[in-house]
Each structure stands twice: as C-alpha cells, then as structure tokens.
Amino acid sequence: MEDIIVSENLKYSYPGQEGFAINGISFTIRRGEFVSVIGHNGSGKSTLARLINGLLEPDSGKLTVLGMDVNEGKNAIEIRKHVGVVFQNPDNQMVASIVEDDVAFGPENIGVEREEIGRRIDWALSAVGMEKYRHSTPARLSGGQKQRIAVAGVLAIKPDVLILDESTAMLDPRGRKEVIEVVRRLNKEEGMTIVLITHFMEEALLADRTIVMNRGEIVLSGSPEEIFKQGEALETYNLSLPRISVISQNLRSAGMDIKDVLKPAELAAEILKNFNNRGISGGESSFPAPADIAPAGEWDINIKNLTFTYSKKSPFATRALNGISLKISDGEFFGIIGHTGSGKSTLVQHLNALIKLPQAEKKYRKPKVKKGQPAPLLPLITVGGFDLSSKKTDFKSLRASVGMVFQYPEYQLFAETVFDDVAFGLKNFNKKLPAEEVEKAVRDSLEIVGLNYEEVKDKSPFDLSGGQKRRVAIAGVIVTKPHILVLDEPAAGLDPKGKKEIMELLHKLHSGWCKTVIIVSHDMDEVAENCTRVAVISNGEVFACDAPANLFKRADELSALGLDVPLTTKISACLEKGGVIIHSDCTVKDFSQKVIEVYAGGKDA
C-alpha cells in the first residue's frame, strides 16, 4: 500500500496565540488504513484535520497528501477534491435551504456531471438513513439529523480520504452506529482511507491504528489494543480507559483472572471462565436497592397533553410533540433520551417557556367548540408555582428559576469579556442588583465551574479553549442560582476528562442549591451512571419512564427505537446466556461489585 499522507516535523501556530497547536509531528497514513485519533480538547486534532485538507498551511515542516505538498497553495483545491472533512458542528457546513441541494453542493463544485450527482445524492442519503428528508429544509432538522446530512454531503464527493472530526458527537446511538458502519464499509469494500477523530473510546477501538495527541504532539501510536493497555499513561493525557477496560481492572483487583478484551461478549466469556474454574455453573447477584419514590415537592414539573408543531399551516409543518404527559419530581437528577428528531430538545424548551404554550400567547383566543363536539384538550405545564398556560405568569421570574443550557453552549457566548457574558443574565433578571453583588455572583459562578476568576474575567470568551467556553456558558446560566437546571447534551464534544468534570459539576450543583437537574443525552452509559430516572421520547411521545436499572432491561424495545443500552447491560445479557444473572443498577461500579459478589460465593470461596 502506498503512503497517502506523510508528515515530517509538522508545525502550526494560530495567529495571536502563544505556542504551537501542532508541534513537530511526524507520521504516515497508508492508503486504505482506518486510523483513529484521540486526545484531550485542544490537543491539536482538529487543527491536524484542517492541515490535511489544505484549509490551513503549515508554519514549517512538510505535509504531503496524495503526493501533493500542502505548502504549495495551488494544490489546495485539488487536495479538497480527494480529502473530505466532516466537522463537529453541522451548522457550520450547511449551505443550502433544501437537503438534496446541500448534498449536491460538493459534487457540483468539483465538476461532477448532473446525472452522476443525482445518483450520488441517492447513495449518500441512503448511506446515512436520511432518504425521506431529501426535500426538507435543514433549518427544521434536529442537531443529529443535520449531522447526518453533513456526512452525506462529504460522502457525495466520493473522497479518497474521509476525515470525521467528532462528526458522530450529536447522533443518537443508532445514527452513530449507522454512520460508523458506513465508514467501515467504505474502508473495507472501497478502500477509502479513514481518519476518525473521536472522544468515544469505543469508536477508537474499531480502527486499525490509534494515534494519541497531547498538546500538539503525538505521544502514542499503535493498535487500539496496545494503546488501551496504557491505562495510567492515558489518564496523564486527560483521556480515560474504555468502560470495558475499567470493569476488567476492577475484576482483576478482586483476584479474578481477566484478560484485556474489547467487546462485551469477550468480557462475559472471561468472567464465565473464572466462574467455571471456581465451580460456579450458575449464580445470581442481589437486586440493587430500589430508587426512592419522591414525595410531592415544591418544584415538581407536571406536563399534560403537550403537543407542538413547527411551521404550523405551512408546507414545512412538522409535528414534534404529540400529547406528552410527564412528571419530574423536585430533587431528581432526571434523564431524557430518544432517537434523533424524537422531540427531546423541543420538550425541554417548553420548561422555561422559550416555546410558549398557545394559551400563554398574547393573541390567543379560546377556540369555539362546535355543538356536539368535545372541547379540544389543551396542553398544561406547571413548574413549581408557575402555570405556563397562563398569560399572567411572570415568565421573567420563571426563566431565572429554570436555567437552560443548550447543545454547544459555547455558541451562547456573545460579550466582549467573560465577566460581561456571565453577568448578563443576572443583570437582566435583576436590574437593581448592586455592582458588588453582581461581582460576587459572577466570581462564585466562575469558580464553581472550575475557572479562576482573576485569570479569565477580563478575557474575551472567544479566546478561551473549547472546554473553557463551555464552562463560561454554564456559569452564565447558574449565576442566577436556578432551582431547576436543564442541559441539552451537556458533555457532547468534550474529551473524557471534560465529560467527567462536567458531570461532577452537575452533581455538585445538585447537592447544593439546584434542586433538580435534567439532562438530555444520547450517551446511555452517561444516563445510567448519573440519573435517578429516565424518560424515553419517541416520535414526540413518552415511550417509557423508569429507573435506569428497570428501563435498560428492555433492550430489544429500545433498540427498535434507535437507542442503545449501557455496556453493563450488554455484558449481563451475555452472562445470562451462560447461566449467570447479574442484577446491577447499570453503573460500572455496581456491576463490578455484583460480579465479584457471585465470584466470592463460589464453592472454594
């Protein structure tokens, strides 16, 4: 196989920033290879993708792509015909008002014939499961659906090299699996070279080779198996072991002989082998402690018959919610999951009246009921003492009490300094607040999210790293000390350490003054590890609402909805086939303990 990408002592620094984003790296990628690139936020992964694609020119060193020198400006356009990049945020790649036009944009620009463009649109949309949205407008698609369209747009140019820069971050489990399967098929069957930049350690395992980046340098390179054996080294680089490796370590610490494996069925086989060696032909762990049923609380959320349609009475009318009824109790750490486009984001935007109920709109008039016809069911939402169906509700006070953090919260930043950005909402909700109280609140909020007030208060938020921007955005929401905090995909796009820190921050807020935390997530393990209860939204309806331990037993039903189950549930299913039943709460810690409990009860224990 020929060398398709060759880098020699490559360096790049962004104008106005100290140090190198890429600092003297050398590597080779061969035609047909599938290479995963992992590293902390700010390690240089995305910069590397832009250099390979010719969007950036190196400061020094040499980089050739398909034999073309990136430093020679005349090669940039030709390189882009052969190297496609799908970036993290699909909104930055949408150029047309209709999906098929967006997918056609790339092939048109490289001179593909009209008939062939039509065939490529069909193929690319089918590859990402978006055929039925061909004539939709991207502006009305969910974040995950836009992501699939962005992938289709790059696939349509049929590149020699496909780079995915965190491009599955906003997809639901089925969507992520489908895109990765498409990528693997393109790699295996058509010989397409794949560079997968990811924070999902489980995705990195699928590659032929893994490159680990840290502070602009390549610090590790090898097969995924070799890389993930370096447990402590990975943590040094702000990464984490895959959950399956953590479970293996836990079991080895308890005296079990567990080899390093990378698949649920393989780990189950290792566990069963240990049980058989100990004379355990079957076994059953104890049930996890049942979740407490919360009594009625001051800040309960009650939703009844919630229906919502985007672009009502227009050709683009889209029903997003279809009669949702749900109760979220005061004090819960509540999860909301569902396939891409299921209505999750639309639902949570009703909780602080960013989308108002029809009755609360100024121009609303009660519909006349025809004789003999039942009165229409009107949606009702109460949040604590706020009735969101009433025009008289103080919506300003509601929004101070219900904080909302959107997908990619760093795009909520707008002010010249971090201080002004964080202080904006506080000043808006309480215009008479003394300056010293505003300063104290801003200081406290920034320090709660782990930022040094003195270091960042006068900086432009746009000069911060991605992880720091997200923290500033969260600080700007929690500065009002809301009773309820709603976060839509709060950890998407963050490295493993960043995800862990965000979830620890949310638990810290929850145990403090924030009574209820609600997270929307596509990460089933994240939900299982953190939430007291989980609601499943499907096609604008509540499919189920239960504790994770109960909900994830319904693996087949969830799979049919485009969802996944936590890793521990997959291993448990394999163990059950071998006669061992593990009743865990789906967390890595509890699952490990329950396996050890069965092992310790063996004949020679």
User: For the residues of 62-122, what is the DSSP string, one character each?
Assistant: EEEETTEETTSGGGHHHHHHHEEEE-S-GGGT---SSHHHHHHHHHHHTT--HHHHHHHHH
Query: 600 versus 240: which is more confidently predicted?
Result: 600
**How sure is the predictor about 420, in pLDDT bands with cuts at 50, 70 and 90?**
very high
Q: What share of the chain is helix, strand, coil (3-state, %, to 5)?
A: 40, 20, 40
Q: What is the pLDDT of residues 75-86, one digit of tens each?
A: 988 998 899 999
Please compute the mean of the pLDDT values over residues 413-421 and round it to a whole number: 94
Please compute the mean of the pLDDT values over residues 239-255 and round it to a whole number: 90
Please compute the mean of the pLDDT values over residues 312-317 and round it to a whole number: 82
Residues 6+ apart with CB under 8 A from 436: none
Please compute the mean of the pLDDT values over residues 405-425 and round it to a whole number: 89
Pairing mode of beta strands 333-338, 516-520: parallel
**How sure is the predictor about 219, in pLDDT bands with cuts at 50, 70 and 90?**
very high
Q: Residues 62, 126: contact at Cβ < 8 Å?
A: no
pTM: 0.85
Q: What is the pLDDT of residues 317-334, one digit of tens each?
A: 889 999 999 999 999 999
Kindly report the backbone phi and psi dihedral angles of residue 120, in degrees, each rounded to the nearest multiple of 5, phi listed first.
-70, -35
Kindly report the backbone phi and psi dihedral angles of residue 116, in degrees, each rounded to the nearest multiple of 5, phi listed first.
-65, -35
Please compute the mean of the pLDDT values over residues 187-214 and round it to a whole number: 91
Q: What is the mean pLDDT of the chain?
A: 90
- Residue 243 CA to residue 227 CA, distance in Å, equals 14
Task: Return the biggest CA–CA distance within the chain.
Answer: 81
Q: What is the CA radius of gyration of the chain?
A: 26
Does residue 605 surpass a pLDDT of 60?
no
Q: What is the pLDDT of residues 503-561, one digit of tens each?
A: 999 999 999 889 999 999 989 999 999 999 999 999 999 999 999 999 999 999 999 99
Kindly report the backbone phi and psi dihedral angles of residue 162, in degrees, each rounded to the nearest multiple of 5, phi listed first.
-115, 120
pLDDT of residue 482: 95
Which residue reads 């009703």 in tokens?
Answer: 350
**How sure is the predictor about 166, in pLDDT bands with cuts at 50, 70 and 90?**
confident
Please compute the mean of the pLDDT values over residues 33-39 and round it to a whole number: 95
SS (H, E, C) 531-598: CCEEEEEECCEEEEEECHHHHCCCHHHHHHCCCCCCHHHHHHHHHHHCCEECCCCCCHHHHHHHHHHH
Angle at 174 between CA 569 and CA 151, to 5 degrees: 145
Does residue 480 surpass a pLDDT of 70?
yes
Q: Cα 211 to chain center, whole Å? A: 22
User: Which pair of tokens denotes residue 344?
Assistant: 């999750």
Lowest-pLDDT range of 35-44, 171-180, 502-511, 569-578: 171-180
Does residue 604 surpass a pLDDT of 60?
no
Of 15, 134, 116, 12, nearest in space to 62 by CA: 12
**How sure is the predictor about 294, in pLDDT bands with cuts at 50, 70 and 90?**
low
- Residue 445 CA to residue 474 CA, distance in Å, equals 9
Per DSSP, the three-state class of 170 is coil
Q: In order of start, what are the domains of the chain with their CATH numbers? A: 3-236 (3.40.50.300), 243-289+567-600 (no CATH), 301-362+376-546 (3.40.50.300)
Q: In angstroms, what CA-CA distances link 83 with 1, 51, 63, 75, 162?
A: 18, 11, 14, 12, 6
**How sure is the predictor about 367, in pLDDT bands with cuts at 50, 70 and 90?**
confident
**How sure is the predictor about 297, in pLDDT bands with cuts at 50, 70 and 90?**
confident
pLDDT of residue 183: 87
Q: What is the pLDDT of residues 115-152, one digit of tens each?
A: 999 999 999 998 888 899 999 988 878 767 888 899 89
- As a whole-number percent, the residues of the chain with pLDDT over 70 amount to 98
Query: 445 versus 231: which is more confidently predicted?
Result: 445
Q: How many other C-beta atoms lie within 10 A of the C-beta of residue 318?
A: 17
